[in-house]
Amino acid sequence: MEFCDECGSMMKVEDGVWTCGSCGHTKARDSDNEASMVTTQGQENSEIVDVSEAEDNGLPSTKVKCPNCENDRAYYYMQQIRSADESETRFFICTECEHKWREDDH
């Protein structure tokens, strides 16, 4: 991500140069600097949570009905999978059949 030196707005790449969408200021691209930038593609790799042997890993459990086997207990963990201004998603792992599902916002 690059910001405009003139007005501070976020810039985008147009015709091989950084261009400000607000004031039109342009600046040459710096491939060494861009290599260290975090891209949206780089953010897609989220942390993988190992839920095998959930009880031994200290995951809390709660009373909730498993959609697979109708058991009434599951381990759960919270993970931020959307933008920071949205709530975390709660994931469940059935204590009996180890079926995994998530709680959707309604």
The residue ranges of every structural domain in the chain are 2-43, 61-103
pTM, full prediction: 0.46
The reply, when asked if residue 69 is annotated as ligand binding, is yes
CATH number at 61-103: 2.20.25.10
Q: Which residues of 1-18 are buried (b: 16+ CB within 10 A; e: fewer)?
A: ebebeeeeeebeeeeeeb
The reply, when asked if residue 5 is annotated as ligand binding, is no
For the stretch 23-39, pLDDT in tens is: 988 888 877 777 766 66
The reply, when asked if residue 106 is annotated as ligand binding, is no
For the stretch 4-23, pLDDT in tens is: 888 888 888 888 888 988 89
The reply, when asked if residue 23 is annotated as ligand binding, is yes
Report how far residue 64's alpha carbon sits from residue 4's, in angstroms, rounded to the nearest whole number: 50
The reply, when asked if residue 94 is annotated as ligand binding, is yes
- Within the chain, what is the greatest distance between any pair of CA atoms? 61
For the stretch 50-74, pLDDT in tens is: 655 555 567 888 999 999 999 999 9
End-to-end Cα spacing for the chain: 34
For the stretch 73-84, pLDDT in tens is: 999 988 887 777
Report how far residue 46's alpha carbon sits from residue 25's, in angstroms, rounded to the nearest whole number: 35
